[in-house]
Chains A and B, each alone.
Chain A
Amino acid sequence: MTGEKSPTAVSRRTFIKGVIAGGAAVASANYLFRASTLLGQTPVAAVSERLIAITVNGQQRRVDVMKQETLAWTLRYKLGLTGTKLGCDRAECGSCTVLVDDVPHYSCSMLTHTVRNKKILTVEGLAAADGTLHPVQQGIIDEQGFQCAFCMSGFIMSAVGFLKANPNPTRAELAHGVSGNLCRCQDYDKILTSLMRGAENMRRGTSV
């Protein structure tokens, strides 16, 4: 562990000392929901840590995050990024997939506080600043890959993450790459065709 000596790390350490000294942890439900206790408590890390900055789609976003809050919750209900869907909230469907430092993760199954120092990419962050779609998005439009499309943003993020590491997959390899995503409309064949088109678009360095 080198560098990471940000102000949060300092307050975190102070807080840990507090926890060790106190034996048990403070009862968090109180400070979360009742202003009076909030004032009365030795606040240390608790309050200062709730207001954090996370990097989403290239922007630093300051946001008030509960300790027990999942990334999907923060994205959708705090930052208004509702392109990330919640299907199961149980790591069983993939519709909440986002990239964390370029790697696909289920945002329903990670705490926002654990990704403070990482780069988050959601489906909203894929298109270029001038509105040009990401090659994978364009591939989907070209091939009309989805039916209801509830699962779509999750599939796109899985595919984009997979293609960054494996730019030239066979259809079977790509299928394996996005196997952590379910489609309730059972549109897999067309989804794969459009993602393969997206991969081709990416290799050509073009979105059309």
Chain B
Amino acid sequence: MAVIRDVMPAFELVQPTSAAEAQKILEQNGSDALILAGGMDSFDWLKDRIKRPKIVVDLSGIDELKGVRTVADGIEIGAMTTLTEIVNNETIKQKYGLLAQAAELVASPQIRNQGTIGGNVSQDARCWYYRAGWPCYRAGGNICYADDPDGRNREHAILLADRCVAVNPSDSAPALIALDAKVVMRTPKGERVVDAEDYFIGPEIDITRLHILQPGDLLTAIRIPATWANTKFYFEKIRDRNVWDFPLLNIASAMVVSGGTIERIRIAVNAVAARPLRLKAVEDAVRGKAPNAETGVMAGKLAVRWAVPLQFNGYKIPLMRNLVKRAIGGVEEAVWAA
């Protein structure tokens, strides 16, 4: 449990009022600067004295980063839009309900009232060795404490691990990937737009970060195209407690069924690897098939084909298999023996 210490160590606080100004300050200060959105991830690092930025750039005064706008092809969500605003937004509820469902399952009401979508997709890993400041691979060292005979790794990765076995803990990330969202950034070289699935990276690319943002970059918005609006959505999150807890596993899918078969589908899971995973092989395998239990079983098996459990997280394999099955074949009513 966290220890309550004195106030956080001192830092300089700047409060720009435009994205251009913010990006400039970030560029000038490089890795000395920390971006503060809602702070729900950042304050732990500061309070525990593990991250010691010289300058904190508070984005809360930048109105152009807030709110949901309708654009020609879909919607654009400002990076500083809170998760509560996403849950309550009429357009998102009606057309992109998958994201509203995911956002509603994050943490607690107060955290959703303050946590932003930009922060949710950019949050750091929750592996407790790393969060406690242990000098592991992710922290720039050369050991993993979780992937060790004595390591506590019940929440850790079953897929694509490479030295570090931490997972991406975001609930919104798989929903954004399923909706084929784009992440918009303002970088020293100008605007950059990437597919949501390419925003996240694993240890093979950079073991110290979960996403592609470099010092000096600012995430400004998330765009969701109309392509998957009002399709058949499925979101499920498995966690220990119904409030506060991060996903042990979550799944998001968007599917179009026509003439009794799956015409197109996007499906993604999180909390199984260092980045949220789009299940491309599953998408290809189920296209043209009926969205029923049989297809679901086949898809579930395929999804976990390369999974490798650690000592305490083997349960994630059947869990992932079953969530994929449900997303595609529907949820069966539980049958209780008399």
Write the chain B residue with the least CB distance to A29.
Answer: B10
B32 CB to nearest chain A CB (Å): 6
- Given the complex of chains A and B, what is the CA–CA distance between A32 and B242 in angstroms? 42
Q: Among B1, B14, B33, B242, which residue has its beta carbon within 8 angstroms of that of A179?
A: B242
A15, A19, A89, A103, most chain B CB atoms within 10 A:
A19
| Interface membership of B44, Cβ < 8 A | yes
Q: B108 contacts A94, CB within 8 Å?
A: yes
A172 CB to nearest chain B CB (Å): 12
Q: Among A16, A25, A32, which residue has its beta carbon within 8 angstroms of that of B54?
A: A25
Q: A20 contacts B13, CB within 8 Å?
A: no
Q: Mark A149-164, 1 if CB is under 8 A from B, else 0.
A: 0000000001000100
Q: Mark A108-120, 1 if CB is under 8 A from B, else 0.
A: 0111011000000
User: Known contacts being A9-B17, A89-B2, A104-B113, is A180 close to B108, with CB within 8 Å?
Assistant: yes
Write the chain B residue with the least CB distance to A118.
Answer: B60
| Interface membership of B103, Cβ < 8 A | no
Q: Among B18, B44, B243, which residue has its beta carbon within 8 angstroms of that of A90?
A: B44
A119 CB to nearest chain B CB (Å): 15
Of the listed stretches A68-76, A121-129, A135-143, A195-203, chain B binds: A68-76
A92 CB to nearest chain B CB (Å): 6
Q: A19 contacts B44, CB within 8 Å?
A: no
Q: A66 contacts B10, CB within 8 Å?
A: yes
Q: A27 contacts B7, CB within 8 Å?
A: no
- B262-308 with Cβ < 8 A to chain A: none
Q: Mark A19-45, 1 if CB is under 8 A from B, else 0.
A: 110011111110011000000000000
Q: B46 contacts A68, CB within 8 Å?
A: yes
Q: A88 contacts B7, CB within 8 Å?
A: no
| Interface membership of B64, Cβ < 8 A | yes
- Secondary structure class of chain A's binding surface, majority of residues: mixed
Q: A179 contacts B10, CB within 8 Å?
A: no
- Given the complex of chains A and B, what is the CA–CA distance between A68 and B11 in angstroms? 7
Q: B111 contacts A180, CB within 8 Å?
A: yes
Q: B7 contacts A73, CB within 8 Å?
A: yes
Q: Among B17, B54, B62, B109, which residue has its beta carbon within 8 angstroms of that of A158?
A: B109
| Interface membership of B28, Cβ < 8 A | yes
Q: B7 contacts A114, CB within 8 Å?
A: no
User: Known contacts being A16-B25, A25-B54, is A113 close to B62, with CB within 8 Å?
Assistant: no
Q: Among A19, A109, A180, which residue has its beta carbon within 8 angstroms of that of B14?
A: A19
- CB neighbours (8 Å) of A109 from chain B are 39-40, 43, 114
- Given the complex of chains A and B, what is the CA–CA distance between A133 and B4 in angstroms? 33
| Interface membership of B16, Cβ < 8 A | yes
Write the chain A residue with the least CB distance to B60.
Answer: A114
Q: Among A29, A70, A179, which residue has its beta carbon within 8 angstroms of that of B109?
A: A179
Q: Mark B5-45, 1 if CB is under 8 A from A, else 0.
A: 00111111111111001001100110011001001100110
B11, B25, B64, B109, most chain A CB atoms within 10 A:
B109
Q: A16 contacts B32, CB within 8 Å?
A: no
Q: Among A16, A25, A27, which residue has its beta carbon within 8 angstroms of that of B16?
A: A16
- CB neighbours (8 Å) of B36 from chain A are 111
- CB neighbours (8 Å) of B58 from chain A are 111, 113-114
A159 CB to nearest chain B CB (Å): 11
Q: A20 contacts B28, CB within 8 Å?
A: yes
User: Known contacts being A24-B54, A106-B114, A114-B58, is A68 close to B13, with CB within 8 Å?
Assistant: yes
Q: A88 contacts B40, CB within 8 Å?
A: no
- Given the complex of chains A and B, what is the CA–CA distance between A12 and B25 in angstroms? 13
User: Known contacts being A19-B14, A68-B46, A89-B4, is A27 close to B114, with CB within 8 Å?
Assistant: no
Q: A179 contacts B39, CB within 8 Å?
A: no
Q: A25 contacts B47, CB within 8 Å?
A: no
| Interface membership of A177, Cβ < 8 A | yes
B338 CB to nearest chain A CB (Å): 29
Q: Among A19, A88, A179, which residue has its beta carbon within 8 angstroms of that of B25?
A: A19
User: Known contacts being A20-B28, A25-B55, A86-B4, is A177 close to B109, with CB within 8 Å?
Assistant: yes
Q: Among B14, B111, B113, B242, which residue has its beta carbon within 8 angstroms of that of A16?
A: B14
| Interface membership of B198, Cβ < 8 A | no
A23, A68, A103, A179, most chain B CB atoms within 10 A:
A68
Write the chain B residue with the least CB distance to A165.
Answer: B88
A112 CB to nearest chain B CB (Å): 10
Q: List 9 A-B contacts (CB under 8 A).
A: A16-B21, A16-B25, A25-B14, A25-B29, A68-B8, A92-B244, A105-B110, A162-B109, A179-B109
**Shortest 8 CB-CB distances between A and B: which pairs?**
A180-B108, A25-B12, A25-B55, A67-B13, A68-B8, A28-B10, A29-B10, A180-B110
Starting from the known contacts A111-B36, A113-B13, 4 additional A-B residue pairs (CB-CB under 8 Å) come to: A27-B54, A70-B43, A103-B84, A179-B108
| A residues whose Cβ falls under 8 Å from a Cβ of B | 1, 4, 9, 12-13, 15-16, 19-20, 23-29, 32-33, 46, 66-70, 73, 86, 88-92, 94, 97, 103-106, 109-111, 113-114, 158, 162, 176-180
